[in-house]
């Protein structure tokens, strides 16, 4: 796989060494067991796969090279390049300005932009409408396009099934940048509807089987369907794709469920299911799959609690939190500063959508074990910083930490 030029400040010699050892020992990536190491009284189970993915490193390289190559030009990002506050703040310090926030609200009017300006497309991609807007202003939307290739793969799959007469069902979060972009591309080719979760998939099934009046569709799926969508005719042939960072098991469950609904309603066998249900296979990115599988395997081990590091608006990271929270106390933090001197942890509650504080997570004495992972947009340097912060709060001698940094073998 291509090696990208990422700022050294985002790298970690420790984490790179651990990852390299695991790659050498498991080149086919069949071993998803965590890496285990002990520092003083603290044992860490580090997920087999975590951190920057191909798409994120590609986006970072393009963005930072644009800044370095054009010191005389104004540089804009359509929105957050990736969902990590450290990286976005770093770009902002270098003079990069954000045209929209993560929800698509305009921060800088289009009228302020000039043809000579550089506009970077974030890793999530962008809508056809925004691309057209940039073209009309004389700005090329592909000159600095960091759209993840795995997002583009979803667009290509949607295009293929749309051209064959299927309606496209997107499993995703309607307000997420990636889902908005995928919806725009899909809706330009075929009827398209977004389902957030299995609950909405079951609601969609009621319109497929005509158990609910078609008129109710527009209220239930408000803002989630394409123009001129007709639930009476556009749900007869469907195919499922997804936002690449969704929970893999949920996407699969939704696809399997809707496939079964079609088979039952139209009395289809496996041989002729494609007359009403497209074979889209999995459109999750490799990093999402690997990171989730690594967490699932890690959860087979015993630990006192889990820490997940990443941006609070990161979809792929929030799903790692969901997986961990099913088994043990889990703390979603954006960096080491959330771990307090007294062992408290300030963390993001993905259900209440707010930051909360949990007391005495790090015990004052005695051995303890934690699980640790991070999202696909989280720099490895932050993961190392979190480990070091835990060492400090647990009052483990700095000499023990320094000795660990020089450790050569990890299991």
The pLDDT of residue 282 is 66
Whether 201 and 267 have beta carbons less than 8 Å apart is answered as no
Whether 63 and 82 have beta carbons less than 8 Å apart is answered as no
* Residue 64 token pair: 């930072």
Helix (H, G, I), strand (E, B) or coil at 119: strand
Distance CA 290, CA 22 (A): 14
Share of the chain above pLDDT 90, in %: 84
Backbone phi, psi, residue 125, to 5°: 85, -175
Whether 193 and 226 have beta carbons less than 8 Å apart is answered as yes
For the purposes of burial, counting CB atoms within 10 Å of the CB of 204, is it exposed (0-12), middle (13-18) or buried (19 or more)? buried
**pLDDT of residue 1 exceeding 60:** no
Confidence of residue 284 (pLDDT cuts 50, 70, 90): low
**pLDDT of residue 175 exceeding 60:** yes
The gap between the terminal CA atoms of the chain, to the nearest Å, is 24
**pLDDT of residue 286 exceeding 90:** no
Distance CA 280, CA 285 (A): 14
Distance CA 99, CA 105 (A): 9
Nearest to 4 by CA among 47, 48, 63: 63
Pairing of strands 97-98, 167-171: unpaired
At residue 229's C-alpha, the angle toward residues 226 and 231, to 5°, is: 130
Active site residue 178: yes
**pLDDT of residue 285 exceeding 80:** no
The pLDDT of residue 283 is 72
* Residue 225 token pair: 């369907």
Domains of the chain: 8-53+286-405 (3.40.1010.20), 54-136 (3.40.50.11270), 149-275 (3.40.1010.20)
For the purposes of burial, counting CB atoms within 10 Å of the CB of 215, is it exposed (0-12), middle (13-18) or buried (19 or more)? exposed
* Cα 49 off chain centre by: 14
Whether 307 and 333 have beta carbons less than 8 Å apart is answered as yes
Distance CA 198, CA 203 (A): 9
pTM: 0.89
Q: What average pLDDT does this structure show over 297-306? A: 98
Nearest to 254 by CA among 280, 233, 290, 291: 280
pLDDT tens for 217-265 read: 999 999 999 999 999 999 999 999 999 989 888 999 999 999 999 999 9
Q: Which listed residue (57, 178, 338, 384) is catalytic?
A: 178
pLDDT tens for 81-127 read: 888 888 999 999 999 999 999 888 999 999 999 999 999 999 999 99
Helix (H, G, I), strand (E, B) or coil at 106: strand
State the number of CA atoms in the 13 A half-sphere of 202 facing the CB.
5
Give just the sign of the alpha carbon dihedral 66, 67, 68, 70: positive
Pairing of strands 330-333, 368-374: unpaired
Whether 321 and 350 have beta carbons less than 8 Å apart is answered as yes
Distance CA 76, CA 145 (A): 12
Phi-psi region of 197 (alpha: psi -120 to 50; beta: other; left: phi over 0): beta
Return the HEC string of 280-348.
Answer: CCCCCCHHHHHHHHHHHHHCCCCCCEEEEECCCCCHHHHHHHHHHHCCCCEEEECCHHHECCCCCEEEE
């Amino acid at each position: 796989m291509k090696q990208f030029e990422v700022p050294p400040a985002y790298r970690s010699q420790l984490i790179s060494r651990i990852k390299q050892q695991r790659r050498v020992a498991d080149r086919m990536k069949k071993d998803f067991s965590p890496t285990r190491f002990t520092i003083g009284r603290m044992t860490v189970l580090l997920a087999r796969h975590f951190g920057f993915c191909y798409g994120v490193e590609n986006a970072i390289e393009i963005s930072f090279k644009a800044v370095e190559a054009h010191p005389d030009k104004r540089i804009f990002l359509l929105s957050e390049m990736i969902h990590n506050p450290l990286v976005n703040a770093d770009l902002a310090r270098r003079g990069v300005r954000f045209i929209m926030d993560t929800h698509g609200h305009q921060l800088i009017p289009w009228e302020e932009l000039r043809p000579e300006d550089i506009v970077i497309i974030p890793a999530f991609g962008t809508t056809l409408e925004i691309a057209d807007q940039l073209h009309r202003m004389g700005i090329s939307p592909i000159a600095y396009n960091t759209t993840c290739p795995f997002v583009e793969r979803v667009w290509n799959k949607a295009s293929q099934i749309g051209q064959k007469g299927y309606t496209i069902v997107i499993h995703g979060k309607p307000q997420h940048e990636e889902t908005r972009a995928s919806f725009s591309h899909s809706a330009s080719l075929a009827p398209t509807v977004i389902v957030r979760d299995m609950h909405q998939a079951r609601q969609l099934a009621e319109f497929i089987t005509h158990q609910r009046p078609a008129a109710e569709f527009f209220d239930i799926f408000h803002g989630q369907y394409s123009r001129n969508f007709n639930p009476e005719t556009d749900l007869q042939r469907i195919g499922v794709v997804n936002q690449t960072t969704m929970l893999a098991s949920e996407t699969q469950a939704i696809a399997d469920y809707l496939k079964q609904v079609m088979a039952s309603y139209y009395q289809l066998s496996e041989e002729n299911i494609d007359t009403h249900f497209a074979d889209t296979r999995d459109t999750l990115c490799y990093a999402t799959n690997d990171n989730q599988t690594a967490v699932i395997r890690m959860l087979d081990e015993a630990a006192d609690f889990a820490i997940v590091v990443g941006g609070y608006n990161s979809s792929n990271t929030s799903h790692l939190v969901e997986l961990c929270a099913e088994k043990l106390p889990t703390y979603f933090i954006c960096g080491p500063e959330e771990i307090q001197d007294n062992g408290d942890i300030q963390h993001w509650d993905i259900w209440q959508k707010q930051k909360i504080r949990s007391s005495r997570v790090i015990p004052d004495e005695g051995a303890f074990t934690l699980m640790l992972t991070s999202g696909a947009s989280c720099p490895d340097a932050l993961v190392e910083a979190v480990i070091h912060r835990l060492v400090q709060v647990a009052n483990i001698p700095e000499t023990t930490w320094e000795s660990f940094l020089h450790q050569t073998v990890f299991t």
